[in-house]
Amino acid sequence: MAAAGAGRLRRAASALLLRSPRLPARELSAPARLYHKKVVDHYENPRNVGSLDKTSKNVGTGLVGAPACGDVMKLQIQVDEKGKIVDARFKTFGCGSAIASSSLATEWVKGKTVEEALTIKNTDIAKELCLPPVKLHCSRKKGMRNISLNASMEVY
Amino acid sequence: MDVQATTPLDPRVLDAMLPYLINYYGNPHSRTHAYGWESEAAMERARQQVASLIGADPREIIFTSGATESNNIAIKGVARFYRSRKKHLITTQTEHKCVLDSCRSLEAEGFQVTYLPVQKSGIIDLKELEAAIQPDTSLVSVMTVNNEIGVKQPIAEIGQICSSRKVYFHTDAAQAVGKIPLDVNDMKIDLMSISGHKIYGPKGVGAIYIRRRPRVRVEALQSGGGQERGMRSGTVPTPLVVGLGAACEVAQQEMEYDHKRISKLAERLIQNIMKSLPDVVMNGDPEHHYPGCINLSFAYVEGESLLMALKDVALSSGSACTSASLEPSYVLRAIGTDEDLAHSSIRFGIGRFTTEEEVDYTVEKCIQHVKRLREMSPLWEMVQDGIDLKSIKWTQH
């Protein structure tokens, strides 16, 4: 009785394994390591990727980071005569959080003056994207300040 | 496509295991009734299956909970047994963490360990190994196939060197057993670690091969009722070892066919990626290489962002962002990979059940997303403008 049950179970299990599309084909519903969907959104539909004309007098470019650290961000801002940021573009070599942080940063600085942009903190960006603490460095404040400072210095 | 991390159960393995999970649940060490006897018989059958895969005698196979435990037993067990006369061990910088950590814990006990560097190919320099052997060296431990870059070490030559200098030779063969032919006598291996879940067997089981002629003595790590010749106490998990045995037997049958098929798929993957994307580097020697483990660096694109893009494919990366410590892979660092390329590496694993469609899908997505990410990369832009990245003074942060 027990033996027959075992035999049936075994056949069923084998049939299941052989017939079912192997598990790897199933939909991986959770995004990699539980990224917040805002991060995924910015990553898949990044805003403001690209470059502004770096030779133009109104455009400031800041470059921060090092390939050896796995993080390089380039941020460009176009400033009008009144000191307001009218356009911003970014390019990033870095992980998903770094890309999302840069993308969000370009969205936020548009329409602000340079002084206002300098007040943006990496903790604000991290909170908006719900980044886990380990990813804080990806949106580092010093980087932001550096970039903004470099960019604004170039313009003036 | 992450078979170096783990493999699915082969249906034939599950078939072999099921009766022992349902009806034949006896403790193989029970001497007094049929439940025990039939479990013992199954355990010994499995032992023979494992032994015949590597050319060993079944009495030389001890079952453990996995290759990590086997590595611990091999390294700590041998070192401690001979500690009165021998205080030195040799290993490499590209070993699995459990080997390196065991060595580190032995250093804390007063042993001395030499960590051999590897060449750019990932292979050790045999002359350096010979020079490192001292009169008080008890053990040399070198893995057969590396789990990150797939490089094959010259095991037979290392075995020859160790045997001539009377030093025991241990190899962590977790990624190699059942995939490439191994013979412990031809290759003069004294100890070998085997992992169940890397060869389409169950997780939670492995084995260690310990040579009997000449006898290698090992101090047991786990105390108890003296099972497994006193070298590893604890009830042997019959269903798991039956699964390991079946996996080894299946591997022996399928080895040649699997190797041919996986080689073809690997060729296909590498060729198709490299012909559509410039600036892709393969990490590790392409010749002394197990085809199923391919580690590629995509310059100017960060590994973790590429993994996020390839979200329907299971892969892994040597990039810092994917490791808990924010440090890129130590194996890539040991082979001298530039740090930025180390951040850009992805490991593709091809196994017995990987299909051509899966490879083609992965290749297509990979090409598409690398191109997209390169468009977003300031490094790519600078290179396109003719700037030499090495000449730039990068800022610290």
pLDDT at A31: 39
For residue B16, the distance in angstroms to the closest alpha carbon of chain A comes to: 9
B8, B22, B301 member nearest A6 (Cβ): B22
Which of A30-44, A58-72, B187-201 is predicted least confidently? A30-44
Amino acid at A12: A
* pLDDT tens, position by position, A7-40: 555 555 555 555 544 444 333 333 344 567 777 8
B98 and B237 share a domain? yes
The span from the first CA to the last CA of chain A, in angstroms, equals 89
Q: Token pair of B88, please?
A: 């030195």
Range of the domain at B274: 254-385
The tens digit of pLDDT for each residue in B144-167 reads 999 999 999 999 999 999 999 999
Average pLDDT of span B128-133: 97
- Give the closest of B312, B320, B377 to A93, CB-based: B377
User: Are the beta carbons of B376 and A94 separated by less than 8 Å?
Assistant: no
| pLDDT, average across residues B270-286 | 95
Instruction: Between B46 and A129, name the one with better pLDDT.
Output: B46
**Is the per-residue pLDDT at A149 higher than 70?**
no
State the average pLDDT over residues B53-81: 97
Predicted pLDDT at A58: 77
**Residue B252: closest CA among B197, B180, B303:** B180
Q: Are residues B263 and B152 in the same domain?
A: no
Band of the pLDDT at A140, cuts 50, 70, 90?
A: low
Mean pLDDT, chain B, rounded, equals 94
Phi, psi of B67 (to 5 degrees): -65, -30
User: In which residue are the tokens 């730039």 written?
Assistant: B392
Which residue among A5, A68, A95 places its CB closest to the CB of B321?
A: A95
Sign of CA dihedral B151, B155, B161, B167: positive
Three-class secondary structure of residue B210 per DSSP: strand
Strand (E) or helix (H) holding A65: strand A59-66
Write down the pTM of the prediction. Answer: 0.86
Asked if B37 and B155 sit in the same domain, the reply is: yes
Q: How far is B379 from chain A (nearest CA, A)?
A: 7
Confidence of residue A135 (pLDDT cuts 50, 70, 90): low
Q: Is residue B57 part of a domain?
A: yes
Give me the residue from B326, B358, B379 closest to A72, CB to CB. Answer: B379
Residue B256 has pLDDT above 70, yes or no: yes
Residue B288 has a pLDDT of 96
Rg, Å, chain B Cα set: 22
A66 interaction partners in chain B (CB closer than 8 Å): 394-396
Do residues B209 and B189 touch, judged by C-beta distance below 8 A? yes
> Is residue B42 predicted with pLDDT exceeding 60?
yes
Q: Using a CB-CB distance cutoff of 8 angstroms, which residues of chain B are in contact with residue A9?
A: 18, 22
Which residues of A are catalytically annotated? 69, 138
CB-CB under 8 Å, A74 with B321: no
> Do residues B244 and B284 share a domain?
no
* Domain co-membership, B269 together with B348: yes
The Cα of B284 is separated from the nearest Cα of chain A by a number of Å equal to 20
Please check whether residues B240 and B357 belong to one and the same domain: no
**Which of B186, B214, B249 lies at the terminal end of a domain, its last residue?**
B249
Residues B289 and B227 in one domain: no
Look at residue B111 and tell me whether its pLDDT is greater than 70.
Answer: yes
Residue B85, domain member (yes or no): yes
Measured distance CA(B345)–CA(B272) in Å, rounded: 17
Does B105 reside within a domain?
yes
pLDDT value of residue B343: 86
Residue B298 lies in a domain: yes
Instruction: Calculate mean pLDDT across residues B81-95.
Output: 96
Contacts of B300 in chain A (CB under 8 A): 93
- B111: Cα within 13 Å, side-chain hemisphere: 31
Are residues B331 and B193 located together in one domain of the fold? Answer: no
User: pLDDT grade, residue A150 (50/70/90)?
Assistant: low
Query: Hey, how many other C-beta atoms are within 10 angstroms of the C-beta on B225?
Result: 10
B310-334 burial string, b = 16+ CB within 10 Å, else e? bbebbbbbbbbbbeeeeebbbbbbb
A61 touches chain B (CB under 8 A): no
pLDDT at B59 over 90: yes
**Cα–Cα distance between B72 and B76 in angstroms, integer?**
6
Q: What is the mean pLDDT of residues A81-104?
A: 83
Question: pLDDT over 90 for what percent of chain A?
Answer: 0
Structure-model confidence comparison of residues B304 and B88, the more confident one: B88
Contact A68 B394 (CB under 8 A): yes
Q: A96 and B395: CB-CB below 8 Å? A: no
How many structural domains is chain B composed of?
2
Residue B397 lies in a domain: no
CB contact under 8 A, B14 and A14: yes
Residue B2 belongs to a domain: no
Q: How large is the average pLDDT for residues A58-77?
A: 79
Whether B357 and chain A come into contact, CB under 8 Å, resolves to no
Q: Which of B231, B249, B267 is the last residue of a domain?
A: B249
Give the containing element (helix H, strand E) for A90. Answer: strand A85-93
Let me know whether B310 and B245 are in one domain. no
Contact B397 A140 (CB under 8 A): yes
Which residue from B177, B146, B169, B172 is spatially nearest to B245, judged by alpha carbons? B177
* Amino acid code (one letter) for B357: E
Q: Which residues, in sequence order, are bridge partners of residue A61?
A: A76
pLDDT the model gives residue A142: 42
For residues B35 and B159, membership in a common domain is answered with: yes
- Percent of residues, chain B, with pLDDT higher than 70: 97
- Boundary-marking domain end, from B249, B281, B309: B249
Helix (H) or strand (E) holding A109: helix A96-109
Q: Where in chain A are the domains?
A: 37-140
| List of E strands, chain B | 61-64, 88-92, 112-116, 137-141, 168-172, 191-195, 206-210, 280-282, 293-298, 316-317, 345-349
**Are B141 and B118 in a shared domain?**
yes
Active-site positions of B read 321
Angle at B141 between CA B135 and CA B146, to 5 degrees: 150
Closest alpha carbon to B219 in B76, B376, B39, B319:
B76
Whole-number Å distance between alpha carbons of B211 and B231: 13
Task: Residue B165: give its domain's CATH number.
Answer: 3.40.640.10
3-class SS at B261? Answer: helix
CATH number of the domain residue B367 falls in = 3.90.1150.10
3 state DSSP class of B350: coil
Tell me: pLDDT of A133 over 90.
Answer: no
Claim to verify: residue B73 and residue B153 sit in the same structural domain: yes
Alpha-carbon dihedral of residues B50, B51, B55, B58, nearest 10 degrees?
Answer: 180
What per-residue confidence (pLDDT) applies to B244? 98
The reply to whether residue B378 touches residue A70, judged by beta carbons under 8 angstroms, is no
Is residue B391 one of the residues assigned to a domain?
no
Q: What is the per-residue pLDDT for A14?
A: 52
Domain annotation covers residue B316: yes
- Residue A99 is predicted with a pLDDT of 84
Domain A37-140 has CATH 3.90.1010.10: yes
